[in-house]
Amino acid sequence: MSSAYQSLREEALAANLEIPRLGLAILTWGNASAFDAQKGVLAIKPSGLPYGELNADSMVVLDLEGKVVEGRLRPSSDTKTHIVLYRAFGKIGGVCHTHSAHAVAWAQARRPIPCLGTTHADQTASPVPCTPMISAGALAADYERGTGELIVETFAGRDPLHTPMVLVAGHGPFTWGASAMKAVHGAASLEEMARMAILTLSIDPSAEPLPEHVMRKHWERKHGPKAHYGQG
Amino acid sequence: MSSAYQSLREEALAANLEIPRLGLAILTWGNASAFDAQKGVLAIKPSGLPYGELNADSMVVLDLEGKVVEGRLRPSSDTKTHIVLYRAFGKIGGVCHTHSAHAVAWAQARRPIPCLGTTHADQTASPVPCTPMISAGALAADYERGTGELIVETFAGRDPLHTPMVLVAGHGPFTWGASAMKAVHGAASLEEMARMAILTLSIDPSAEPLPEHVMRKHWERKHGPKAHYGQG
Amino acid sequence: MSSAYQSLREEALAANLEIPRLGLAILTWGNASAFDAQKGVLAIKPSGLPYGELNADSMVVLDLEGKVVEGRLRPSSDTKTHIVLYRAFGKIGGVCHTHSAHAVAWAQARRPIPCLGTTHADQTASPVPCTPMISAGALAADYERGTGELIVETFAGRDPLHTPMVLVAGHGPFTWGASAMKAVHGAASLEEMARMAILTLSIDPSAEPLPEHVMRKHWERKHGPKAHYGQG
Amino acid sequence: MSSAYQSLREEALAANLEIPRLGLAILTWGNASAFDAQKGVLAIKPSGLPYGELNADSMVVLDLEGKVVEGRLRPSSDTKTHIVLYRAFGKIGGVCHTHSAHAVAWAQARRPIPCLGTTHADQTASPVPCTPMISAGALAADYERGTGELIVETFAGRDPLHTPMVLVAGHGPFTWGASAMKAVHGAASLEEMARMAILTLSIDPSAEPLPEHVMRKHWERKHGPKAHYGQG
């Protein structure tokens, strides 16, 4: 099948297949989408399909109104949340949502993940924020859209690319980035940061956050204007 | 070998093979059965055989009196427990029992698993119940049947399809569902829910249950009359 | 190469290869031996060789005096401990030693593993004992033999086949059984029991041991004169 | 491509590929280098490349001034830290740095890992030291060199081959050894030691260190002049 969205579908497919490969979801518990800002459309995993049955054709293409542009299947039940993020965060090219266990644990404890070391600072120079619990009103109005709006409100006054990840209280992590694959790799990083934070606090419940000078250095090493990590 | 129960045997085989694939059992520590309500028979794993040696022929077919209808091997030592559940719960098509570590830990602590997040609520809008410890009398009368009866008593007044899983105190989890494969996937979900609950309480020992409105929403999203998850 | 001990070597090889397959050791951190009571010899893993480089020829055959009967390599540094167990426990056909993390943790805490559930009772109807710390004198005399003697002393008055496993204080687990493969499977069971006990106590630090009637029933179901597990 | 450093590149490649194989890093979170003392050069992983894309040609060869001698890619951002260790520790042939979760947890808690058992003593007869937090001044001057100097200062008065591993506070583990592969295997050992120590303290928060006589015996069994482990 020929499609104007073939490469976007393939990007979405590759990112979704990386989710189980990195151990971020069992069964069908995670999804990723890829966004094409030029065309104003995203491609996302269909709802409830096992990763082993996915192919480029099964990805669902939608516009930012949530209208299906191409695809025979029902999109992920989290699609509206992805859309709210693309609309609000402008410069991002991918979103990922998983139920990875350690990130979910922090979300269920409804606590931000403190920045205890350089592994965390390599991803963001701040704690990973946790939204408030969604209200009964927002949930009744439109649960998935409300979840996205809760994230956007939590990021008021922040640059979402400086902290490309969040915990939705009682639910789990959402991550985003320049591409769908970067969003999935952010989800893997977040899961490790969450795991390391739990382990650290099991050794010393009053472990101190990483000092500001180290936190800033690590983030800038990878992301600042003088970044010198990778081959870019 | 031709058999009137070939497809039931194959369903049971596929479900049993999924147990080690999902990391729910080492050695021979888990079993699943598939039930054919029309014919009134179940097919179950033979006792003590490694998963790698199973095939459709090695599955044992029994009626609800526990009489072997077809099969050369001795059925799982937990067979009578499965049968009690099929007799009591009516509409179920599969049962699974494992010794997955985190679900067992809650069973050994003899505590229900609180619903701390949406991962749990996607499976059931209530805590996962834990039976009382089996009495010396029930054990002496018929241990495996008594285990099943303990589960049934624990579900008095509940819809077993609303909470398709239980912890048997001091023992481990049993799960059930519309098919044998769904029962095994329920066992995988339960293991993750159990793991997340332990991790959450290690972050905050007084973590609050998920509010009623979110719990109900998630369960209904997947299971209620307005379910909009999957392609069904 | 033809050898009078070919099948014993192959039994030892298969058991040693099962150690990394079951996740019981990284690098070279575990060994198993197979014993031929008729011939009075054991075959054991050579010292320090990665599992991927083992073959039947590399197994070392020794008599119960510790004399190498056949084999070009140096035997496992734990060989004398294995020999003490074969001499003292009479009816066993295999021994296994690993550094699996959760069993080691209990050994390092120098505590027996309480029997908190049926997974444990399926293996033994008692706590898994922990030896005292080896004395400086016993260590100076012959460390590996002293380790074996410590185990034997810990089992004074016990049937080693009723509890085919022990923790050596500050060190780690040793397991044994009717064959080398059964000893390795016992090591896998012990690691799971150790993990489940840690998880259980993290949920409830005062979790109660399994009641005597359930503990006895489970052990007898698998091992007693009326055993009805497996196809045997 | 023919190179004077082909075998050094291949040694570095093999060691880097072992990092994900042993589960010591996700994504690109670990690196190893191999040192040729004769030629005064090291070969190290390029920065930010996934392990699956590495080959011998992509390894970067540098001298001990940090000048690239051969290679088209930018070396690991941790290269200067490796160089400081080669200059200071003289007799080592390999260095490894990972973000393995349990070792990082101790580094984030800024605590040495106590020697609680023989698994640890097989690697070193002392706690695994933890550096102080890097000062703002050392960080501003040259972060990666400063990290190396912090390690060297922590080892003042110690033989780095008796304790071939360290935790950098707030960051993670560095290990070294006679070869790059030995450094990586040291990183795997350290991760297990770190995990076992956390598990042990979860069972008994006041667990005692291994007595001196056992600690010394185990280390000497593998490393002392009378070592009798392995085939060497």
Residue A1 reports pLDDT greater than 60: no
Confidence of residue C222 (pLDDT cuts 50, 70, 90): confident
CA–CA distance, D25 with D31 (Å, rounded to integer): 9
pLDDT at D1: 52
Contacts with C105 from chain D: Cβ below 8 Å: 196, 199-200, 202-203
pLDDT tens readout for residues B6-26: 999 999 999 999 999 999 999
pLDDT at D134: 98
Phi and psi angles of residue B194, each rounded to the nearest 5 degrees, phi first: -65, -40
pLDDT over 90 percentage in chain D: 91
CA–CA distance, C91 with D132 (Å, rounded to integer): 55
Contacts with A229 from chain D: Cβ below 8 Å: 47-48, 77
pLDDT tens readout for residues C160-215: 999 999 999 999 999 999 999 999 999 999 999 999 999 999 999 999 999 999 99
Confidence of residue D231 (pLDDT cuts 50, 70, 90): confident
CA–CA distance, A228 with D191 (Å, rounded to integer): 28
Strands (E), C81-207: 94-98, 165-168, 172-177
CA–CA distance, C91 with C177 (Å, rounded to integer): 9
Is the minimum CB–CB distance between C112 and chain D shorter than 8 Å? no
Q: Contact B211/A170, CB-based, under 8 Å? A: yes
Radius of gyration (C-alpha) of chain A in whole angstroms: 17
Please say whether the dihedral angle defined by the alpha carbons of residues D141, D143, D148 and D150, taken in this order, is positive or negative: positive
Is the minimum CB–CB distance between D36 and chain C shorter than 8 Å? no
CA–CA distance, C69 with C43 (Å, rounded to integer): 10
Residue B122 designated active-site: yes
Set A122, A143, A159, A204: catalytic member: A122
Strands (E), chain B: 30-36, 41-44, 60-63, 68-70, 94-98, 165-168, 172-177
CA–CA distance, A120 with A196 (Å, rounded to integer): 9
pLDDT over 90 percentage in chain B: 91
CA–CA distance, A52 with D89 (Å, rounded to integer): 50
CA–CA distance, A31 with A99 (Å, rounded to integer): 10
Identify whether the C-beta of residue B85 lies closer than 8 Å to the C-beta of residue B176. Answer: yes
Q: Which two tokens stand for residue D95?
A: 């260095």
Q: Which two tokens stand for residue C123?
A: 């293996």
The number of beta carbons lying within 10 Å of the beta carbon of residue B149 is: 20
Q: Which two tokens stand for residue A47?
A: 């709802």
Confidence of residue D224 (pLDDT cuts 50, 70, 90): confident
Residue B224 reports pLDDT greater than 60: yes
pLDDT at A71: 95
Mean pLDDT of B72-79: 97
CA–CA distance, A109 with B116 (Å, rounded to integer): 8
Task: Name the residue among A198, A194, A187 with its Cα closest to residue A20.
Answer: A187
In DSSP terms, A172 is beta-bridged to A168
Q: Which two tokens stand for residue C193?
A: 């029991």
Q: Contact C210/B170, CB-based, under 8 Å? A: yes
pLDDT at A230: 82
CB neighbour list of residue A6: distance below 8 Å, 6 or more residues apart: A56
Contacts with C108 from chain D: Cβ below 8 Å: 116-117, 196-197, 200, 207, 210
Strand order in the sheet with B60-63: B68-70, B60-63, B41-44, B30-36, B94-98, B172-177, B165-168
Q: Which position has the token pair 């339960």?
A: B190
CA–CA distance, A31 with A73 (Å, rounded to integer): 15
Residues C120, C123, C124, CA angle at the centre, nearest 5°?
85
Identify whether the C-beta of residue D141 lies closer than 8 Å to the C-beta of residue D148. Answer: no
Q: Contact B74/C230, CB-based, under 8 Å? A: yes
Mean pLDDT of A10-33: 98
Q: Write down the pTM of the prediction.
A: 0.97
Look at strands B172-177 and B94-98 and give their pairing: antiparallel
In which element (H, E) is residue B44 found? strand B41-44
pLDDT tens readout for residues C130-170: 999 999 999 999 999 999 999 999 999 999 999 999 999 99
Closest chain C CA to residue D230: C48
pLDDT at C111: 98
Confidence of residue C13 (pLDDT cuts 50, 70, 90): very high
pLDDT at B203: 98
Contacts with D189 from chain C: Cβ below 8 Å: 26-27
Q: How many CA atoms lie within 13 A of A213 on its CB side?
A: 11
Mean pLDDT of D26-53: 97
Residue window 135-154, chain C: list those with CB within 8 Å of chain B: none
Query: To the nearest whole angstrom, how far is the Cα of D99 from the nearest Cα of chain A?
Result: 7
CA–CA distance, C55 with B130 (Å, rounded to integer): 48
Residue A228 reports pLDDT greater than 90: no
Query: To the nearest whole angstrom, how far is the Cα of B149 from the nearest Cα of chain C?
Result: 16
Please state, rounded to an integer, the average pLDDT across all residues of chain A. 96
Mean pLDDT of B114-125: 97
Mutate to test the interface with A, among B22, B182, B200 (most CBs of A within 10 A): B200
pLDDT tens readout for residues B127-167: 999 999 999 999 999 999 999 999 999 999 999 999 999 99
Least CB-CB distance to A108: which of B189, B196, B232?
B196
Please state, rounded to an integer, the average pLDDT across all residues of chain B. 96
The number of beta carbons lying within 10 Å of the beta carbon of residue A170 is: 30
| For chain C, counts of helices (H) and of strands (E) | 7, 7
The number of beta carbons lying within 10 Å of the beta carbon of residue A93 is: 21
Give Cα separations from C165 to A94, B194, C127 (angstroms): 52, 28, 10
Contacts with B144 from chain C: Cβ below 8 Å: none
Set C51, C122, C143, C159: catalytic member: C122
Residue C1 reports pLDDT greater than 70: no
pLDDT at D37: 97
Q: Which two tokens stand for residue A217?
A: 């250095």
Least CB-CB distance to A196: which of D73, D108, D139?
D108
CA–CA distance, A25 with A15 (Å, rounded to integer): 13
Look at strands D60-63 and D41-44 and give their pairing: antiparallel
Is the minimum CB–CB distance between B107 and chain C shorter than 8 Å? yes
Identify whether the C-beta of residue A59 lies closer than 8 Å to the C-beta of residue A35. Answer: no
Residue D144 reports pLDDT greater than 70: yes
Identify whether the C-beta of residue D96 lies closer than 8 Å to the C-beta of residue D31. Answer: yes
CA–CA distance, C28 with C54 (Å, rounded to integer): 11
In this predicted model, which residue has the larger pLDDT, B230 or B173?
B173
In DSSP terms, D10 is beta-bridged to none
CA–CA distance, A201 with B205 (Å, rounded to integer): 13
Please state, rounded to an integer, the average pLDDT across all residues of chain D. 96
CA–CA distance, B196 with B198 (Å, rounded to integer): 5
Closest chain A CA to residue B185: A27
Residue type, D146: G
| For chain D, counts of helices (H) and of strands (E) | 7, 7
Least CB-CB distance to C26: which of D192, D208, D228?
D192
Q: Contact A117/D104, CB-based, under 8 Å? A: yes
pLDDT at D225: 78
For chains B and C, CB pairs below 8 A equal: 90
CA–CA distance, A193 with A116 (Å, rounded to integer): 9
Mutate to test the interface with A, among D76, D106, D108 (most CBs of A within 10 A): D108
CA–CA distance, A168 with A131 (Å, rounded to integer): 5
Q: What is this model's ipTM?
A: 0.96
Query: To the nearest whole angstrom, how far is the Cα of D48 from the nearest Cα of chain A?
Result: 4
Residue A204 designated active-site: no
pLDDT at A3: 81
Q: Contact B101/C230, CB-based, under 8 Å? A: no
Residue B212 reports pLDDT greater than 60: yes
Question: CA C106 from chain center: how many Å?
Answer: 15
Set D63, D142, D159, D229: catalytic member: D229
Is the minimum CB–CB distance between C208 and chain B shorter than 8 Å? yes
Phi and psi angles of residue A165, each rounded to the nearest 5 degrees, phi first: -165, 150
Phi/psi-derived region of residue B208, left when phi > 0, alpha when psi is between -120 and 50, beta in every other case: beta
Least CB-CB distance to D231: which of C26, C73, C133?
C73
Task: Name the residue among C132, C98, C127 with its Cα closest to residue C113.
Answer: C127
pLDDT at B143: 97
Identify whether the C-beta of residue B199 lies closer than 8 Å to the C-beta of residue A101. Answer: yes
Residue D192 reports pLDDT greater than 90: yes
CA–CA distance, A39 with B114 (Å, rounded to integer): 45
pLDDT at B219: 87
Mean pLDDT of B39-62: 97
pLDDT at B1: 52
Q: Which two tokens stand for residue B33?
A: 């059965």
In which element (H, E) is residue D30 found? strand D30-36
DSSP D171: T
Contacts with C210 from chain B: Cβ below 8 Å: 108, 170
CA–CA distance, B216 with D143 (Å, rounded to integer): 51
Q: Which two tokens stand for residue D191?
A: 């991760």
Closest chain C CA to residue D220: C143
pLDDT tens readout for residues C86-135: 999 989 999 999 999 999 999 999 999 999 999 999 999 999 999 999 99
pLDDT at B228: 74
pLDDT at B232: 65
Identify whether the C-beta of residue D131 lies closer than 8 Å to the C-beta of residue D166. Answer: yes
Mean pLDDT of A124-141: 97
Task: Name the residue among D115, A144, C204, C209 with its Cα closest to residue B170.
Answer: C209
Closest chain D CA to residue A117: D170
pLDDT at C223: 85
Residue D29 reports pLDDT greater than 80: yes
Q: Contact B196/A170, CB-based, under 8 Å? A: no
